[in-house]
Structure 1
Amino acid sequence: MTTAIFPAADTARTPLLELTSADTGTEATPEGLLSYLSDTENVDRLLLAHKALVFRGFGLTADTVDRALDLILRNRLAYVHGNSPRTKVGDNLYTSTEYPQQFTISMHNELSYAESWPTRLAFFCQQAAETGGATPVVDGEAWLAALDPEVREAFAPGVRYTQNLHDGMGLGKSWQDTFETHDRTVVEEYLRGTGADWDWRPDGGLRVSLLRPATVRHPVTGAEVWFNQADQWHPASLGDEAAGALAQLLPPEELPQYVTFADGSPIPDAHVLQVRDRGLETAVDVDWNTGDLLLIDNVSVGHGRRPFTGARRILVAMTD
């Protein structure tokens, strides 16, 4: 096998490297891809340099993707404390966020609101959409630089996330689905290690509050990146009509998820809309073909989803 080494990425360029069998020097088969991925040190170097890698044309299927994931995600994690609706379909393998296909999912780093997060994610396209459905990726340094100085300054002290998780019936996710358990003791043991404040509600639900930074530094490169989900947790991201309807039902602090500045003061709508829009504007799209595999550095790169038509099935796994 010929090992392909590529030059370090320029952060001003697209945070994405596409690889085909011609680039890897292997056959255009699942076995060819597996032989390339088995050189894990080379894959690690490429991912650090380019931040996102997409492997195309190797004919991966649902029956062969697990072997590829085992090579690039050496300790697959459960989606514990995740806030988006998903279905578990295998060994810590999940569907991508099950959100109505006509809507965009804005840019975010997976579990950036949690005390710990996966270092990398892999996405497998089991079935490409009829139209649309790209996964945009954004360089976290570029996203941070795209924000107005006053917005960056306002977020500098951090953000506070609040989750209101019901007991099986209500808006949003239940605490059972969020933590993949029905045992309160297991939930409490997990939360004790996160620095979160929490309390069980009289109706059986759970409220969790966690203070997190708005930016972090990459553990290897030291680059500062935008790393929070304030725009996704803020009512303004729902649009005027949906936000207004929810406001008639619940105060902000009782919504399934809510976010404020670190001191508890409200985040202006204009700030989160700028964050959302400039993340999407700065991103580049990964257009899917059935069988493609995308690997991203979850600290360097945020991801999202474009609207689509027809059936689409993207599977996701992650590692620490």
Structure 2
Amino acid sequence: MLNTAASWRPLELTPASTGADATPAGLVEYALRPGLAELLVQEKALVLRGFGVSSGTYDMVADALLPQRLAYIHGNSPRTKVGHVGENVYTSTEHPPEYQISLHNEMSYAHQWPGRLLFYCDRAPTSGGATPVVDAQLWLESIDPAIREAFAGGVRYTQNLHGGHGLGKSWQDTFETEDRAEVEAFLAGTGADWKWKSDGILWISQVRPATLRHPVTGTEVWFNQADQFHVAGLGEDAALLMELVSEDEMPQAASYADGTPIPAEHITHVQEAGLRHAVDVDWNAGDLLLIDNVLVGHGRRPYTGNRRVLVAMSD
């Protein structure tokens, strides 16, 4: 039976349900069968369990599930590239475990974003640590119409990326290079405004849409990260950050497209609307989660223990 927006949850695939061997090679064989791309669009997210995937076999599985892995260039989350596991594989995030990461579609603030994300649980948490996922169509439909209208013109994202010392990510980490010319060449194709400040900070400002239509289904979805860039989305840390830097020096900020401030209550409403419909994906070592990054938003629950979830992206 097909998922409907009101009852959506990821489809779980196991060796028993797929008829594949309970091995990484069995999963690769299943992934290479015709129809996986169509199934992902239909179901929006797939949980793959019981195939015995390890860090040593992850690379060949990812090759089958993600045809072209992308580098996390212009990514705003703190991550580390995990080269020994495979090409363009990263830690999913390095925010402290006690924090919840709000729902979002990966890199929806950027001029390009990945079409698929593949999460892999290398080490399960002791407690908590689920990855909540939400149907982005249902998220959009759950937002107050007046707030949706306020976002109709899009979101202006502003970043102040330091040169090696400061709050937030550096421009070197963000663009995976020490070469300013490489950064400038990348930004030249994005439609963003940018400049180097005298203190070595790279300032970037860009307007992106608040919603998006899926390239295959045409479904309109909520697709932005205004709440993660807005100070109101920082929760208890907001007041402390505002004491340290002025508003125009924030590592990242969000406003409406014309520069009008977004009210804090709009940010809270958007976050709460998504969480009301989120479904938690709990982790066991070896589990994978494949999502359509346009149709599904994701986040992270707080956790204890030595959780290690890796992520790779593709177009």
Alignment TM class, shorter chain as reference: over 0.9
Match of 2:75 in 1: 82
| 1:234 corresponds to 2:230 | yes
Equivalent of 1:197 in 188, 193, 211: 193
Equivalent of 1:271 in 266, 279, 296: 266
Match of 1:38 in 2: 32
| 1:70 corresponds to 2:63 | yes
Q: Which amino acid aligns with 1:258?
A: A
Q: Which amino acid aligns with 1:194?
A: T
Q: Which amino acid aligns with 1:150?
A: A
* RMSD of Structure 2 on Structure 1 (CA): 0.9
| 1:146 corresponds to 2:142 | yes
Equivalent of 2:157 in 156, 161, 169: 161
| 1:294 corresponds to 2:262 | no
SS of residue matched to 2:37: helix
SS of residue matched to 1:63: coil
Match of 1:131 in 2: 127
Equivalent of 2:4 in 10, 18, 23: 10
Deviation at 1:278, TM superposition (A): 1.5
Match of 1:3 in 2: none
Deviation at 1:27, TM superposition (A): 1.7
Q: Give the Cα separation in 2 of the matches to 1:196 and 1:135.
A: 31
| 1:103 corresponds to 2:96 | no
Superposed CA deviations along residues 245-271 of structure 1, whole A, max 9, x for unmatched, are: 222222222100000000001000000
SS of residue matched to 1:89: coil
Q: Give the Cα separation in 1 of the matches to 2:82 and 2:30.
A: 26
Deviation at 1:96, TM superposition (A): 0.8
Equivalent of 2:111 in 105, 109, 115: 115
Q: Which amino acid aligns with 1:57?
A: G
Map of 1:167-182 to 2, 5 A cutoff? 167-182=163-178
Q: Give the Cα separation in 2 of the matches to 1:301 and 1:173.
A: 26
Q: Give the Cα separation in 2 of the matches to 1:262 and 1:190.
A: 22
SS of residue matched to 1:162: strand
Q: How many residues align?
A: 312
Q: Give the Cα separation in 1 of the matches to 2:137 and 2:44.
A: 11
Match of 1:4 in 2: none
Match of 1:314 in 2: 309
SS of residue matched to 1:304: strand
Q: Which amino acid aligns with 2:63?
A: D
| 1:223 corresponds to 2:219 | yes
Q: Give the Cα separation in 2 of the matches to 1:78 and 1:257.
A: 21
Q: Give the Cα separation in 1 of the matches to 2:170 and 2:152.
A: 31
Deviation at 1:13, TM superposition (A): 2.1
| 1:22 corresponds to 2:22 | no
Q: Which amino acid aligns with 2:57?
A: T
Deviation at 1:204, TM superposition (A): 1.0
Q: Which amino acid aligns with 2:5?
A: T
SS of residue matched to 1:86: coil
SS of residue matched to 2:311: strand
Q: Which amino acid aligns with 1:94?
A: Y
Match of 1:54 in 2: 47
Superposed CA deviations along residues 42-72 of structure 1, whole A, max 9, x for unmatched, are: 2111101000001101110000011111011
Q: Which runs of 5+ in 1 are unaligned?
A: 1-6
Q: Give the Cα separation in 2 of the matches to 1:58 and 1:133.
A: 21
Q: Give the Cα separation in 2 of the matches to 1:246 and 1:132.
A: 27
Q: Which amino acid aligns with 1:34?
A: V
Deviation at 1:167, TM superposition (A): 0.4
Q: Give the Cα separation in 1 of the matches to 2:256 and 2:186.
A: 24
Q: Which runs of 5+ in 2 are unaligned?
A: none
Equivalent of 1:245 in 215, 240, 243: 240
Superposed CA deviations along residues 281-304 of structure 1, whole A, max 9, x for unmatched, are: 211010111100110000000000
Deviation at 1:10, TM superposition (A): 2.0
TM-score normalized with structure 2 length: 0.97
